[in-house]
């Protein structure tokens, strides 16, 4: 057995070859980094094709179908086209920073993949602070917007950057509050720990409100429709990346596509049980497939959403966040924390020994689900009341206007 | 002689980041560049936290200082656009500030670093813990009455007051 080199005993293998321990570990980590980084880089080529195809189908078109079988090589053609475009640096641009921005954009997205558990055994780095790491790394993404917007020496880029920063900073608040709930349920911030805690019951059952808020806030962070004000062509030409051309622009685009896919992976890991599924402990590779399936369901959902919902206005975007998402998130956190303590006080929480058992998790899940349903009910009632009040006001205004009009018409003119 | 292993190399890289970034902040004439140098310096500090087996602090450092505070500084600088393209030196007080900074450095070395971590100091010769403290321990320490609950609550109160103050300032006069 010792002579067989596999990914699981790679360090031992190198040591047997007579390589110094430090160097062996370094090579091992380097290989892991390269492998983890390759996953999103390779996937993005297919993502662009899938995205265009789905958008086309929603809009009753066929989509890319010319390059290669079923148009599969369309993304390759696009990449070649981007490479051959002229690489323009605007006059008066801050060259070093201008070139740095696409790299920051790409890095902030790729870095997230380090903590994503692919199978029970394979994870880039199982950090004990995985969730916090995700937040920290994605907050670097805001830097890219500032840097790109400022260094382009273009007022539209700067204006777009201002708007984008407002959006990114605002939606971090509900995102963090929504992430608190899986952390509370799992009792750990490690991504692998959160996945293991869902062996008995997926968190989407226990915390549907948090899952929806997480999804919405992440869509806004990634700048996907309906929150794609980051690149609102009709309003601010294109936003912070207007001056970029050629492959630097391609890097911004690829980073956005990968970001959209990354949020689907994260939602699958945090709320849909990640790699967990039948026989996953006997054949770990199955976990990769399960994770892929779950991710693609969420990703397809976000694609359909993207091509069906119109873009929101900036004031609607801010109002929706601060007056709707944030209050609900705070109530949701308080409610979940309270119910978790109640469940533990009543002794209904699953025994750690049988945490993977579906039935043992049922009482806790049902109580939490009921709590979530109450929150959803309250929210829907509030929306309904607000809508009705607005409608009544509108009707009253219309009626008053009509009455005035009638008076004006029926009044004898000129007599 | 310092043992040359991965940790030492990482330490040297992070130290170079911090010192280089700090030097850049005070030498560049461009305020945006200065802010980005500051980000580099803060990154180095986050790296130190990782080396000190405090990953939570490292992540918070990146999240708070780079994700929030650096962005705010950039905003403040960008909104005063005439300040971003400085050509002349505004005043000749760099000698004074260099002396002040040097004095502060000496004061910290003599007053804090040497007595505590120097030869014969209270913490001298103490090994860096290999144990990574869990976030749960940190959380317990923050709210336990025997540890840090008072500073924690005082800081919370301060932040709340600052937040209310910010809202009052930003509010339109009605």
Lowest mean pLDDT: which of A46-50, A125-129, A313-317, A336-340? Answer: A125-129
Q: Nearest Cβ partner of B36 from A97, A128, A137?
A: A97
Contact A47, A300 (CB under 8 A): no
Average pLDDT over residues A30-59: 84
Most distant CA pair in chain B, distance: 68
Look at residue A303 and tell me whether its pLDDT is greater than 60.
yes
Between residues B91 and A85, which one has the greater pLDDT?
A: A85
8 Å CB contact of A136 and B60? yes
% of chain B beyond a pLDDT of 70:
82
Average pLDDT over residues A235-262: 81
Per-residue pLDDT of A83-127, as tens digits, reads: 888 877 777 777 888 888 888 888 888 888 888 888 887 777 778
CA distances from A389 to A52, A320, A324, A400 (A): 41, 18, 17, 17
pTM: 0.84
8 Å CB contact of A158 and B134? no
Average pLDDT over residues B118-144: 74
Q: What residues form DSSP beta bridges with A123?
A: A117
Average pLDDT over residues A138-160: 81
- B33 to chain A: nearest residue by CA? A97
By the CB < 8 Å criterion, does B74 face chain A? yes
Average pLDDT over residues A294-306: 90
- A24 to chain B: nearest residue by CA? B6
- B31 to chain A: nearest residue by CA? A150
End-to-end CA distance of chain A: 111
Supply the pLDDT for residue A234. 64
Rounded-to-integer distance, Cα A188 and Cα A194, Å: 7
Kind and range of the H or E run holding A181: helix A155-186
Look at residue A5 and tell me whether its pLDDT is greater than 70.
no
Supply the pLDDT for residue B99. 93
- C-beta atoms surrounding A415 within 10 Å: 4
Supply the pLDDT for residue A35. 80
Lowest mean pLDDT: which of A20-24, A254-258, B34-38, B58-62? Answer: A20-24
Look at residue B4 and tell me whether its pLDDT is greater than 80.
no
Supply the pLDDT for residue A235. 65
By the CB < 8 Å criterion, does B56 face chain A? yes
Look at residue B157 and tell me whether its pLDDT is greater than 90.
yes
Supply the pLDDT for residue A2. 42
* Residue A191 with chain B: CB contacts under 8 Å: none
For residue A117, the SS3 value is: strand
Average pLDDT over residues A189-213: 87
- B9 to chain A: nearest residue by CA? A22
**Average pLDDT in chain A:** 83
Look at residue B146 and tell me whether its pLDDT is greater than 50.
yes
Instruction: Please state the domain extents for chain A.
Output: 85-403
Supply the pLDDT for residue A1. 36
By the CB < 8 Å criterion, does B135 face chain A? yes
CA distances from A169 to A39, A67, A183, A213, A318 (A): 28, 40, 21, 16, 11
Lowest mean pLDDT: which of A57-61, A164-168, B111-115, B124-128? Answer: B124-128
Supply the pLDDT for residue A391. 92
By the CB < 8 Å criterion, does A19 face chain B? no
% of chain A beyond a pLDDT of 90:
13
Interface test with A, best of B135, B136, B143, B170 (most A CBs within 10 A): B135
CA distances from A258 to A109, A248, A304 (A): 7, 15, 17
Lowest mean pLDDT: which of A371-375, B16-20, B65-69? Answer: B65-69
Look at residue B30 and tell me whether its pLDDT is greater than 70.
yes
By the CB < 8 Å criterion, does B68 face chain A? yes
Per-residue pLDDT of A307-331, as tens digits, reads: 888 888 888 888 889 888 999 999 9
Check if the interface score ipTM surpasses 0.95.
no
Q: How far is A64 from chain B (nearest CA, A)?
A: 39
């Amino acid at each position: 057995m010792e002579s067989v080199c596999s990914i699981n005993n790679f360090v031992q293998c190198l040591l047997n070859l007579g390589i110094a321990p430090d160097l062996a570990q370094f090579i091992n980590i380097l290989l892991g980094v390269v492998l983890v980084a390759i996953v999103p880089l390779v996937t993005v080529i297919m993502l662009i094709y899938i995205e265009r195809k789905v958008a086309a189908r929603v809009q009753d078109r066929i989509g890319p179908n010319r390059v290669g079988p079923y148009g599969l090589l369309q993304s390759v053609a696009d990449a070649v086209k981007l490479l051959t475009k002229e690489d323009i640096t605007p006059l008066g641009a801050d060259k070093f920073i201008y070139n740095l921005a696409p790299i920051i954009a790409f890095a902030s997205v790729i870095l997230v993949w380090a903590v994503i558990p692919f199978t029970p055994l394979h994870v880039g780095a199982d950090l004990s602070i995985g969730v916090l790491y995700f937040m920290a790394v994605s907050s670097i993404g805001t830097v890219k917007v500032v840097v790109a917007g400022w260094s382009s020496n273009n007022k539209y880029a700067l204006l777009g950057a201002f708007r984008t920063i407002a959006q990114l900073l605002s939606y971090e608040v509900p995102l963090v509050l929504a992430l608190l709930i899986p952390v509370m349920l799992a009792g750990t911030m490690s991504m692998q720990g959160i996945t293991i805690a869902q062996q008995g019951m997926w968190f989407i059952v226990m915390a549907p409100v948090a899952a929806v808020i997480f999804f919405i806030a992440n869509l806004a962070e990634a700048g996907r429709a309906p929150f794609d004000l980051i690149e609102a062509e009709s309003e601010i030409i294109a936003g912070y990346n207007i001056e970029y051309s050629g492959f630097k622009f391609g890097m911004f685009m690829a980073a956005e596509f990968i970001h959209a896919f990354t949020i689907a992976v994260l939602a699958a890991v945090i709320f849909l049980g990640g790699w967990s599924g039948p026989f996953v402990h006997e054949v770990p590779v199955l976990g990769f497939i399960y994770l892929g399936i779950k991710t693609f369901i969420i990703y397809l959902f976000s694609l359909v959403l993207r091509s069906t919902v119109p873009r929101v206005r900036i004031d609607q975007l801010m109002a929706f966040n601060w007056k709707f998402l944030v209050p609900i998130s705070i109530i949701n956190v308080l409610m979940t924390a309270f119910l978790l303590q109640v469940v533990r006080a009543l002794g209904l929480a699953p025994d750690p020994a049988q945490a993977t058992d579906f039935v043992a998790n049922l009482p806790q899940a049902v109580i939490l689900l009921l709590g979530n349903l109450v929150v959803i009910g309250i929210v829907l009632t509030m929306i309904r009341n607000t809508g009705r009040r607005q409608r009544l006001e509108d009707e009253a205004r219309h009626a008053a206007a009509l009455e005035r009009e009638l008076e004006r018409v029926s009044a004898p003119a000129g007599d | 002689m310092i043992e040359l292993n991965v940790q030492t190399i990482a330490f040297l890289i992070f130290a170079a980041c911090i010192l280089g970034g700090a030097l850049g902040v005070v030498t560049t004439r461009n305020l945006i560049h200065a802010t980005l140098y500051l980000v580099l310096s803060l990154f180095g500090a986050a790296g130190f936290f990782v080396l000190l087996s405090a990953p939570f602090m490292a992540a918070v450092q990146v999240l708070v200082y780079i994700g929030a505070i650096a962005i705010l500084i950039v905003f403040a600088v960008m909104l005063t656009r005439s300040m971003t393209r400085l050509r002349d030196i505004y005043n000749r007080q760099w000698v004074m500030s260099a002396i002040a900074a040097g004095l502060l450095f000496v004061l910290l070395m003599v007053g804090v670093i040497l007595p505590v971590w120097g030869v014969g100091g209270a913490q001298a010769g103490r090994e860096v813990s290999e144990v990574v403290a869990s976030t749960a321990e940190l959380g317990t320490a923050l709210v336990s009455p025997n540890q840090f609950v008072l500073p924690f609550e005082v800081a919370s109160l301060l932040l709340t007051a600052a937040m209310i103050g910010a809202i009052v300032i930003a509010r339109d006069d009605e």
